[in-house]
Structure 1
Amino acid sequence: MKPLKVLQLLPALDSGGVERGTLEIARALVAAGHESVVLSKGGRLVEQLQREGSRHIARDLGRKSPATFLQYRALRKLFEGERFDIIHARSRLPAWVAWLAWRGMPAGARPHFVTTVHGMHSVSRYSAIMCAGERVIVVSDTVRDYIRTHYPPGRWPHLTDERITVIPRGIDPAEFPREYQPSDEWVARFRAEFPQIAGRKVLTLPGRLTRLKGHHDFITIVGKLVADGLDVVGLIVGGEDPKRPGYAKEIRERVQAEGLGERIVFTGHRSDVREIYAVSECVLSLSSTPESFGRTVLEPLAMGRPVVGYAHGGVAEILGELFAHGAVAKGDVEAAARRVADVLAARTPVVEHNTRFLLAKMQAATLSLYSRLHSQHRA
């Protein structure tokens, strides 16, 4: 089979799960001898993308303006000139413009059109474009069930089950190795930076300081464990949301008001989360809304670190696969505190080895989908 020429479209290449997934597939395409092209308005990850062998086309399809839709004519010319085999749209507005361009091409000359539903978008005709691909990739069973519920075949006859493919996100075991231990130098620096952790059992809540991440529940859980005589310290690992500074102030004031200033530490944004997971006795996931996947649950579990979390969305899938004992009902802080206490007392089973949520599996499944779709076209 001849090498494929694949175009991925997204708004920008700065940071985030969509961007990470785009680079991971681009890297796999290049490694397999295919031609990888990414279209976005640019960003800090462009240099890495190009260094890893892909080509970048700078075009802003993410600006929410009627004028953005008018770019479909120029995009159609691009498609016709480049003769892509696969077009893979990863975000709603770029998907709309790409679909308008693609729809206007002669059927026999069109590339194949693939979409990925990364999250549970608001239900609308605008969001429905992510279900318009000839193949629709979803990142978890949760997202598959969501689009099946809200875009049923009775109203959306093209969205049949055979068009939907679940390809879970994955991680590289080399990046988050099981039983990883940070260097003595890192441990010394971290303890010097946060002396409150000395001699205490570390509990970690990763995630940006937004209300959805469950920081108030985390404070409640740490307070309960301290009241029960357990010598714990809670790390809130994540930067403040610049759009909502009042929330960060709110949770910091609550920590002080409840006398937990020495028991709950705000680390801010960190680039060494792997090391923080490694020194944590338990990681928590307390989001009030279901997540489409749950990378901050998978990463510590892959390292063998227990996670206690609210069992909904993609988090429930990951916990069910790797550490079912850590799953509790959403909002049940009493149960969460008991499960954390079980972890601290070594009354839990060991974390299962991660054999499902692997980066290599995600890459292979995506490239296989491209190849099967292209082969059908040739047949």
Structure 2
Amino acid sequence: MLPPDFTLLQVVPELETGGAEQTTIDVARAVIDAGGKALVATRGGRMTARLEADGGRLAQMPVQSKNPLVMLGNAARLVDLIRNEGVSLVHARSRAPAFSALWAAQTTKTPFVATYHGVYKAGSGLKRWYNAVMTRGDLVIANSDYTRDHVLAEHHLDPDKVVAIPRGIDLDRFNPSWITPDRLSELRDSWGIAPDDPRTRFLLAGRLTRLKGHMTIIEAAARLKAQARNDFQILFVGDDQGRTGYGEELAKAVSDAGLADRISIVGHCDDMPAAYLLADIAILPTTVPESFGRAAVEPQAMGRPVIASNHGGTTETVAEGVTGWLVPPENAEAWAKAMERAIDIGAAKRTEMGLTGMNRTRQLYRVDAMCAATLAAYERVLDARRLTGKRP
């Protein structure tokens, strides 16, 4: 049980959108519900309102910066914050902010935890040293078994120092029963989808970045078009977060392939539960392994089968042939065949797979279970510090 005066400080680059950001909000709310205080040091972003609505507090600072001088300034700001607010534990969720957070935690002798939200590449000793900042605290949390295995292999840590806590999904928010017809109608209208459009609809959710595999899907769609198939529509849901070049490249690729009537780039969506329900199948064609792959789990919670790249955390979250399909990454031919299969099995079979995925998600990926495991990890660290003064 957390002490009654427990104050958590999470440090994350920004609160715009993404799995690390959502988990930050979820854990902050869990700490508040448990009677503690929750602070988040971040540059800010559109999810700040949700944090504050839950009772959390924002400490705005440029923790996203990799400039050494800015990082030193952030460390000083964090030291002041830790002392002024009586912070009990610091939890870093990204590498650049982790340096400032670790320095501040060490200066104030505050327990430090870091979550590996991604599988970071290390092409050199310097990069491996940079990545290892996430392992220099009291405990490392990995967001999947896949990520935990990577951390152990990469950094040669004591296995007891690395705990896997799968990312959780808010099953109250991602619940088909709560989606009203008005929400679906509003989203359909904003995306220009006719209510009687009979085509099978695929949805790719994620920020517009090359790693998400949009180009693979454009090529796969071109292959389906070449087969004279007109029975599908693809939605790219997500924004470029100010990096416009790739979005423009996608739009040009769609136009050049003559797919404007089949692929729509619809931008950011604040109502992803309704978005998944508006689709028939979710796709996650990432070109590099996702450490967890929230965009493969959330649609399953909404009763939608998933086609995902066959690597990383999605090999744990998508049950091949049961809740979806796993496809080789960057293989447009394989993706075209998988999408064709998903169309041709029909709505009844897709519904059956979706219900199986929904039940599996509710068993394995509940946000309350993730938060409970995270708070238990905090308790473990605090107990170890209090009883022995050593890391667990």
The TM-score normalised by the length of structure 2 is 0.83
Aligned to 1:287: 286
Match of 1:297, as an amino acid?
A
1:149 counterpart residue number: 153
Match of 1:156 in 2: none
Partner Cα distance (1:63, 1:285) in 2: 29
Distance in 2 of aligned mates of 1:210 and 1:318: 22
Are the counterparts in 2 of residues 210 and 241 from structure 1 also a CA contact under 8 Å?
A: no
Q: Distance in 1 between the 2:199 and 2:161 partners?
A: 51
Instruction: Judge conservation of contact 2:90–2:105 (CA < 8 Å) in 1.
Output: no
CA–CA separation in structure 1 for the residues paired with 2:84 and 2:266:
50
Identical amino acids, percent of aligned pairs: 33
Instruction: Give the partner amino acid of 2:232.
Output: V
1:304-343 CA distance string (max 9 Å, x none): 1111121111222211389454112223333333333333
The answer for the alignment partner of 2:390 in structure 1 is: none
Question: Counterpart in 1 of 2:331?
Answer: 332
Give the aligned partner of residue 231 of structure 2: 231
SS in 2 for 1:235: strand
- Provide the residue aligned with 2:98 in structure 1: 95
Cα displacement (A) at 1:258:
3.2
CA distance in 1, matches of 2:15, 2:264: 32
1:256 Cα offset (Å): 3.2
TM-score, normalised to structure 1, is 0.85
Q: CA shift at 1:7, angstroms?
A: 1.9
C-alpha spacing 1:130/1:230, structure 2 compared with 1 (3 Å): same
| Shift in alpha-carbon separation, 1:75–1:236, aligned structure 2, 3 A | closer
Q: Give the distance between the partners of 1:241 and 1:32, measured in 2 at CA.
A: 34
**Residue identity matched to 1:129:** V
Q: Given the alignment of the two structures, is residue 359 of structure 1 paired with residue 367 of structure 2, yes or no?
A: yes
Moved more, 72-81 or 30-39: 72-81
Contact between 2:207 and 2:237, CA under 8 Å: does it hold in 1?
A: yes
Q: CA separation of 1:162/1:342 partners in 2, compared to 1, >3 Å: closer, same or farther?
A: same
**Contact 1:180-1:278 within 8 A present in 2 as well:** no
Contact preservation (8 Å) 2:39, 2:58: yes
Uncovered stretches (5+) of structure 2, i.e. residues with no partner: 388-392
Residues 247-326 of structure 1: pairs in structure 2 closer than 5 A: 247-320=246-319, 323=322, 325-326=324-325
- For structure 1, list consecutive stretches of 5 or more residues without a partner in the other structure: 153-158
Residue range with higher mean Cα deviation, 201-210 or 235-244: 235-244
- Going from structure 1 to structure 2, the CA distance change for 1:145 and 1:192 (only over 3 Å counts) comes to closer
Quote the residue 2:212 is aligned against: 213
Q: Aligned partners of 1:16, 1:299: CA distance in 2, in Å?
A: 12
In structure 2, the CA distance between the partners of 1:128 and 1:203, relative to structure 1 (3 Å rule), is same
1:84/1:334 Cα in 2 relative to 1: closer, same or farther (>3 Å)? same
Residue identity in the other structure for 1:94: P
Q: Write out the 4+ residue segments of structure 1 that deviate beyond 6 Å after TM superposition.
A: none
**Residue 24 of structure 1 aligns to a residue in which SS?**
helix
Q: Provide closer, same or farther for how the CA distance between residues 182 and 45 of structure 1 changes in structure 2, counting only shifts above 3 A.
A: closer
| TM-superposition CA deviations, 1:17-52 (whole Å, max 9, x none) | 333222211110010112323333444544443332
SS in 2 for 1:239: coil
1:136 and 1:192 map into 2 onto residues whose CA distance is 42
1:248 to partner: Cα distance: 3.3
Counterpart-to-counterpart distance in 1, 2:100 and 2:67: 12
User: Structure 2 matches for 1:188-199, cutoff 5 A?
Assistant: 190=188, 193-195=191-193, 198-199=197-198
Deviates more, 1:309-318 or 1:336-345: 336-345
Distance in 1 (alpha carbons) for counterparts of 2:21 and 2:223: 39
Q: What letter matches 1:302 in structure 2?
A: A
Matches within 5 A, 1:174-185: 174-178=172-176, 182-183=180-181
Aligned pairs for 1:44-193 within 5 A: 44-71=46-73, 72=75, 75-76=78-79, 78-80=81-83, 82-105=85-108, 110-123=109-122, 124=127, 125-152=129-156, 159-178=157-176, 182-183=180-181, 186-187=184-185, 190=188, 193=191
Whether the aligned pair in 1 keeps the contact of 2:213 and 2:285 (CA below 8 Å) is yes
**What is the Cα-based RMSD across aligned positions, in Å?**
2.9
Deviations 1:101-141 (A, max 9, x none): 33345xxxx33211111112343212211111211011112
Q: 1:70 to 1:310 in 2, by over 3 A?
A: closer
How many pairs were matched up?
368
Larger mean Cα displacement after TM superposition, 300-309 or 69-78:
69-78
Structure 2 SS opposite 1:277: helix
Contact (CA 8 Å) 2:93, 2:115: kept in 1 or not? Answer: yes
Q: How many Å separate the matches in 1 of 2:187 and 2:98?
A: 46
**DSSP 3-state at the match of 1:337:** helix
User: Is it true that 1:243 corresponds to 2:243 in the alignment?
Assistant: yes
Match of 1:5 among 4, 7, 11: 7
Report what 1:34 is aligned to.
Answer: 36
Q: Give yes or no for contact 2:39–2:59 (8 Å, CA) kept in 1.
A: yes
In structure 2, the residue corresponding to 1:198 is in which secondary structure?
Answer: coil
* C-alpha distance in structure 1 between counterparts of 2:320 and 2:257, whole Å: 36
Q: Hey, what's the Cα distance between the residues in 2 that align with 1:150 and 1:173?
A: 34
Instruction: Call closer, same or farther: CA 1:20–1:189 in 2, change over 3 Å.
Output: closer
Residues 281-311 of structure 1 deviation map (CA, whole Å, 9 limit, x = unaligned): 2121111111122111111111111111211
